[in-house]
Amino acid sequence: MKLNQLANKKILILGFGKEGRASLKFIKKRVISAVIKVADKNLSADYLKKQGGFDLVIKTPGIKKELVTAPYTTATNIFFANVKNKIIGITGSKGKSTTASLIYHILKTAGRPVHLVGNIGKPMLDKLLKPIGKDDVFVCELSSYQLDDIKYSPYITVITNLFPEHMNYHGGIKDYYRAKKNIINYVRPNDYFIYNPKNKILSDWAKQINCQVLPFEERITVSQQDIPLLGEHNRDNIKAAITVVHLFKISNHVIAQAIKTFKPLPHRLEYVGKYSGIIFYNDALATTPEATIEAIKALKNVGTIFLGGEDRGYRFINLVKIIKQYRIKNIVLFPKTGQKIYRQLKLQFNKLPRIFKTTDMEEAVKFAYQCTLKNSVCLLSTASPSYSLWKNYEEKGNLFKSFVKKYSI
């Protein structure tokens, strides 16, 4: 929605978290004729009933569109409508934050004027409060929540991968995939779609759209020892980033230097340290079975794994098969999916690994110190969302790290 379409309107900002606050600041500064009110669950239990009498609602991504009863737009749509600069949009079930951050880091290393915004925790509209150069580039991480009702496609779209996620929000796998596909529904012939060719659904989408289509490049022009990211999934993320930055004519020398100096993001196969001979990794953002499988494959020598969390209807049979294949000896199980994983373990194992069921991260870490063999890995990678016990994955990961250090010798 263009700024002139917001003029003289009575606007309700529905949801007042980080993005809602950014929307309020932006509208107040850029559309001074607008009358703005705010509704949020922390301000009123019946906040959704306050939508009457407004010309327009600006909905936060966390609120389902079905709950909006008035004409509405989103901060994402306002951003896309009012930015003429090149936007690189990155989405995917996992890997989007790492890929977006890596693209940003390479372009920054190359001296390009670039901004990292979006679902990574930096509201897009905040960047529009300051002057923007005509050559500035926006690297924008986009979640399925943001894409569910988007009306624009980026100049360059990257989809890292696709598997079941956020089905409680979208109502099922088909609607989740439909939300993700929205990112390419408005492409123009000169736009680019960059995709992971390993994924059949993405490969099918690539055949259906009218724009320039590129699979991830196959080669990484950096030696393995200089890559700071673990795992085959991260190699895919690197290939995605290389494919993007080559469109900006960035040399392989600069790309190699940038990859070497890239700092992995917290809570994503994050090395915590080696204590009492045990190697600890924090992979708190691995909130699906697929992500945890990739973590196990990347580290290989996992002696103890922490699993379980909120139940989103995931199936754990493939994860349990990997646990068996990699001979993981100790398993911590948190509710609620811990019980589902336990039932699957009993089906797959004649003799179960050592199991510790708990609701307490401190007790889980104590168990790991007692049972994990020296020179093997203790991995927090729960294969389920965090909300059964923790506020979010950051809280879960930070608790893990703090107790690991507390009980180290």
| H helices present in 8-95, as ranges | 18-30, 75-82
User: Does the annotation list 180 as a binding residue?
Assistant: no
Half-sphere exposure of 374 (CA within 13 A, CB side): 2
Q: Which two tokens stand for residue 183?
A: 């990112």
- Taken in order 202, 207, 213, 215, the sign of the CA dihedral is positive
* Cis peptide bond N-terminal to 336, omega within 30: yes
Q: How far is CA 360 from CA 24, 120, 335, 366, 390, in A?
A: 39, 28, 10, 10, 10
CA distance linking residue 182 with residue 201, whole number of Å: 14
Q: Is 98 annotated as a binding residue?
A: yes
- The side-by-side arrangement of strands in the sheet containing 156-159 is 114-118, 137-141, 86-91, 156-159, 192-195, 212-215
Distance from C-alpha of 380 to C-alpha of 269, rounded to nearest angstrom: 9
Residue by residue, DSSP assigns 160-225 as -------HHHHSSHHHHHHHHHGGGTT--TT-EEEE-TT-HHHHHHHHH-SSEEEEPPS---S-GG
**Residue 93 annotated as binding?**
yes
Q: Is 101 annotated as a binding residue?
A: no
94 carries a ligand binding annotation = yes
What stretches of 264-337 adopt beta strand conformation (E)? 270-275, 278-282, 302-307, 330-333
Cα 68 from Cα 252, distance rounded (Å): 48
Annotated binding site for ATP: 92-98
Annotated binding site: 92-98
